[in-house]
């Protein structure tokens, strides 16, 4: 291994701790509702730590809110403690609640590819493991067709083969309350300052 890369990786891990890991050690209460407002649609997707993805999507015009949660696995009622340790088959994801008259599902999926390296199947830097995998979950055939078309276009534009898992959504589980709007509530968190803020700037989004 290149010693420069090793040193950088070691220092980064030391400064940021265990990656996308909240300070709280106890499981908080979950959001009171899993229902969307009238006239809104939903999209469920994951690309590494849900704090980063939530913050990015909430900056898009037409997005009402982004809710951090878990999906893509088979276990019922997953918790952060189990998901973050890789003890379930779920991934960290977000549910994007959006106004389809302002932003389309295709636009949300096209933006998805810009948020991470979708050619990797082992997670999104600096968080690796199946719980941080790139994943798109569709609710019907129409959404699946949009995803496939967007993926094909992105592969053609970049020359990269997409490794993102694409599958039908079974159920979305909202994450514990302390994960919702984590960046806004914890602006001095080391992960927020060291990983999330630079990513937002790279995407051209203010945070």
What is residue 60's three-state secondary structure? coil
CB-CB contact of 186 with 79 (8 Å): no
To the query of whether residue 20 is one of the catalytic residues in this protein, the response is no
The single residue of 16, 44, 49, 147 carrying the catalytic annotation is: 49
Distance CA(146)–CA(40), nearest Å, equals: 18
Owner of token pair 């950088």:
8
The radius of gyration of the chain's CA atoms, rounded to the nearest angstrom, is: 16
- Nearest Cα to Cα of residue 139 among 95, 100, 195: 95
φ and ψ at residue 133, rounded to 5 degrees:
-70, 155
CB-CB contact of 93 with 170 (8 Å): no
Query: Which residues are known to be catalytic?
Result: 49
């Amino acid at each position: 291994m290149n010693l420069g890369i090793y040193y950088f990786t070691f220092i980064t891990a030391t400064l940021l701790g265990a990656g996308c890991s909240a300070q709280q050690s106890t499981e908080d209460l979950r959001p009171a509702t899993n229902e969307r407002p009238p006239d809104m649609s939903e999209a469920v997707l994951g690309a590494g730590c849900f704090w980063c993805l939530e913050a990015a999507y909430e900056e898009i015009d037409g997005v009402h809110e982004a809710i951090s949660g878990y999906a893509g696995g088979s276990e019922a009622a997953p918790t952060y403690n189990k998901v973050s340790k890789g003890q379930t088959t779920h991934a960290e994801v977000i549910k994007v609640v959006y106004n389809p008259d302002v932003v389309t599902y295709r636009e949300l999926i096209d933006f998805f590819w810009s948020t991470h390296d979708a050619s990797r199947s082992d997670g999104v830097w600096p968080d690796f493991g199946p719980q941080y995998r790139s994943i798109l979950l569709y609710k019907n055939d129409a959404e699946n067709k949009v995803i496939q078309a967007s993926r094909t276009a992105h592969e053609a534009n970049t020359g990269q083969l997409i490794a993102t898992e694409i599958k039908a959504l079974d159920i979305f589980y909202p994450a514990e309350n302390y994960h919702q709007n984590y960046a806004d509530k914890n602006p001095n968190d080391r992960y927020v300052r060291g990983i999330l803020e630079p990513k937002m700037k790279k995407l051209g989004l203010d945070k």
